[in-house]
Amino acid sequence: MIIKPDIFCNQSVGSMQSTRLGGVSKKPYDSMNLGVFSNDENAKKNLSLITEVPHEPTFMEQTHGNKVVEYHHKPKFHGEFKADACFTKEKNIVCAILTADCLPVLITNQDSTVVAAVHCGWRGLYADILKQTVLKLGIEPKTLQCWLGPCISYKPYRVDEAFRHKFVVKNKDFAHCFYLDKKKKWHADLKKIAVTQLEFLEVTQISQSPYCTYDNKNLFYSYRRDGQTGRMASMIWLK
């Protein structure tokens, strides 16, 4: 099963979000695991089942940092680049990332001259991976269109006070991205952190998937929920 991001209706841009449905992997990776860095021998077989893309997706080795790479050609192999965001201005090159609770962000611009895929875990967000990506694109931020894909929602994402303090000290505007429950435990909203960062960069065209990976076990992988599990892919390209 594939989800089509609703913000990218331009015929010059292709995009898709995979789920855990429709593949050949066995438990605990059942069934559409695209995590090629896992111990699942069927992950690469699952990749071959994705036929709607210009070429078989190739993935970076994601480091939970803020490094951004530009693709001038299709990467030669998985892990050729160690980064958490990739972009391209070339046609028919797929920018793709892997997630299983972290926030995937897909980006293009109104003129469809560039596309980017960004892996946003909390460490990447804290390290300003979105800011670094927007700067690397060299495009007027107000013309960018961003889609925030399925990730863990704030309710199951419990964090400690030190985690919250780290973000609020960095930027007091992050205070509204954390919630205190009835047991006096903090919860973090990754999407709200990302939206706050994007709006600060003057990116205004932002769309969000309504799905929580943790709460939708039949549809998505979740590392925090299951531990050993598969990965979904978020993909975008210029046609």
Q: What is the DSSP string of 185-211?
A: -EEE-HHHHHHHHHHHTT--EEEE---
Of all residues in the chain, the percent with pLDDT exceeding 70 is: 100
Token pair, residue 87, equals 């972009």
Cβ pair 50, 24 in contact under 8 A: no
How far apart are alpha carbons 82 and 89 in whole angstroms? 20
Token pair, residue 88, equals 């391209």
Cβ pair 157, 178 in contact under 8 A: no
Predicted confidence (pLDDT) per residue in 139-197, tens digit: 999 999 999 999 999 999 999 999 999 999 999 999 999 999 999 999 999 999 999 99
Q: What is the mean pLDDT of each run of 10 residues along the chain (239 residues)?
A: 78 95 97 97 96 95 98 97 98 98 97 97 98 97 97 97 97 97 96 98 96 98 97 97
Q: Which domains does the chain have, with CATH numbers?
A: 2-6+12-154+190-238 (3.60.140.10)
Cβ pair 79, 201 in contact under 8 A: no
Strand order of the sheet with strand 103-109?
68-70, 85-88, 115-120, 103-109, 144-148, 205-208
Q: Residue 5's pLDDT is what?
A: 87
Residue 111: helix, strand or coil by DSSP? coil
Which residues fall within 8 angstroms of residue 76, CB to CB, at 6 or more apart? 58
Q: Residue 9's pLDDT is what?
A: 66
Q: Is the pTM of this model over 0.75?
A: yes
Which helix H or strand E contains 3, and what residues bound it? strand 2-3
